[in-house]
Every structure is written in C-alpha cells, then in structure tokens.
Amino acid sequence: MAFAGVKEFLQPGSGREAVDLLAKLGDRAVVLGGGTFLHGLAARGVLGEVDTFIDLQKAGFSLVKSERSGLAIGATTTFTELAEAEPVRTSLELGAVRDALQYPPPQIRNMATVGGCVASATPLFDLPVAFMALDGSVKALGPRATRDIGLHKFYLDYFEHVLERTELLTEVLLPKLPSGSASAFLKLETNANDLALLNVAVRVTLDESGTCREVRVVVGGGVGKVPVRAVSCEDVLKGQRPTPALLQESGDVVSLDIHPVDDHRASAKYRTAVAKVYVRRALQRALTRLGASLDGHNGQES
C-alpha cells in the first residue's frame, strides 16, 4: 500500500517541536513511532486525510529508567530495547511485560516502539494489556502542560484515546509494586506475526502468609472496544490463599466481565472458552514466580 497523498515527512528535534507541529497541522498529520502498524491503520481507514508524517525518532524519547516511583519507558523505546533492559529481564513484577515481548518476531521487536503501540489504541495489541495489569499510566505533553493518564482511563473505543489532538504521548510509567508481587501474560495467536485472538495479563501480590492482597486481571483481543479489567476474576482471589480450585473459579467467572466479538478469526464462544483457561494459566504462572505451591509445584520461575 502506497501513501500517495503524503507530502511531508518531518523529524522534530524535541517533544515541544512535535507538539507545535501538531497544533499547526491538525488532522493533516499523524505521529510515527516505529511505523510498523501504519499500513494496518491505513487499511482500516483511520488515517483519513493525512498528508504529513511526524517521525519522533530524533525527539529524544528513547529511554528505560528506574526511578523511585517505578519504571519510566520513553515513547520511542523499541520492543527490543525494552526487552533487554535489566529491570524487565530480572523483575518478577514485570514478568507480564517480559512475556508479552516474546511474541512478536525480531523484525517487529527491532522497529516497533512502546509509545506507538500504546497510542495506536488497537485493542488487539499485547503491551497495553500487560501495562494495564501493572496499573500503568502515560505522560502526555501538550501546548501548555504535561499530564499523567492512567491506562484504564486512556482508551475510549477502537483506535480512540483521550489525548487531545495537540497532545503527544512521551512516556509510559509503571509504578513500583509492593513486595510479594509478580505478573504474567499469555496470548492466543495463529502465527508469530498475528494480532491477538485473545490475550490475558495478570498481577498478583501476596502477603507474608500467602494471602492475595491485590489481584489484577486484564483481558484483550476481541473482547471489547478496549481491553477489559476482569474485576469478577479478581474478587474470587482477594483475601484468599490461592488454591487450584480458586484459580479455576477465577477463570470461570471471566465471562461476567468480557463481551467477545464474533469475527472471521474466532467466535465469541471460542474466545470466552479460551479466556477461562488463560486467566487460570496466567494466574498460575504469576503465583509460581512467587514460589507459591500449586498442584504440588513449589519453586520460583523468572
């Protein structure tokens, strides 16, 4: 697919310059991270009357930085750069991110950017689901100020988010989690370059007695216009010591929270059936990383 209507390709040297360009060009411009899903957006009619690309590669947003409050990830950080960052490689808390980054093929990992993945508002993508399970937020730079937006409030609809037309996503922020926390992610796909038919990310925090203090379960991939937080699954485990029976029950009640679609890739019935299994398996993986004893297995997994 050729972009015959594109007249300009701009590379601002800073976020402020990029915001000024957005204010000037309005709906004529689209912001590029790695550009790996640009054809996908064009095929879905999302680009409209765009005639200018604003490429952020020189705007200074490539970083992975551990801070007192958590982990800051710059918008133009590639999937490969994030996967190779020490906190992602070693942290139990960031296990869901590590899991999600294993699915794309190297060609995508080396080009796709974290900010582009999040800002595209594609409900079939993986990293946003993992970030949501970790209570992630984004930092948006606008003409007058910056603001932090929780990812659970960021998405509105297919390819729609709450950013103003003149705002730019500059960072993803993952807060520091309590001790005793671990996360995990699973994806159903047909091949290595496929968008998710269904994906699940979970985060569990255990206290010293092995009781679940906090649980997050997020489901994406054809279960709604945006990724869904499965509160019913969380409620089964909160305040309880996890057992195989409770994990099974937590997976079974996911159907109360999701509304899968029927399409040419999978039926709603199939997505619901897989969601029940994947919620249970993801919770089990996160708990195993914490050394919890389930089904006779006891030991930590990275």
In a domain, 301, yes or no: no
Q: In terms of domains, do 29 and 100 share one?
A: no
Closest CA to 153 of 176, 174, 123, 132: 132
Instruction: Give residue 50's domain range.
Output: 8-55
Burial 203-212, CB ≥16 within 10 A → b, else e: bbbbeeeeeb
Q: What is the CATH number of the domain that holds 33?
A: 3.30.43
In a domain, 240, yes or no: yes
pLDDT digits (tens, 9 = 90+) for 91-124: 999 999 999 999 999 999 999 999 999 999 988 9
Q: In terms of domains, do 188 and 242 share one?
A: yes
When comparing pLDDT for 5 and 262, which is higher?
262
| Confidence at residue 3, expressed as pLDDT on a 0 to 100 scale | 62
pLDDT digits (tens, 9 = 90+) for 195-253: 899 999 999 999 999 999 999 999 999 898 999 999 999 999 999 999 999 999 999 99
pTM of this prediction? Answer: 0.92
Report percent pLDDT > 70 for the chain.
93
Q: Is 252 left (phi over 0), alpha (psi -120 to 50) or beta?
A: alpha
| Confidence at residue 215, expressed as pLDDT on a 0 to 100 scale | 98
How many domains, in total, are found in the chain?
A: 3
The pLDDT-based confidence of 2 (bands split at 50, 70, 90) is low
- Region 87-91: mean pLDDT is 96
pLDDT at residue 1 above 50? no
Q: In terms of domains, do 153 and 194 share one?
A: no
Q: In terms of domains, do 221 and 156 share one?
A: no
pLDDT digits (tens, 9 = 90+) for 37-55: 777 777 776 666 788 889 9
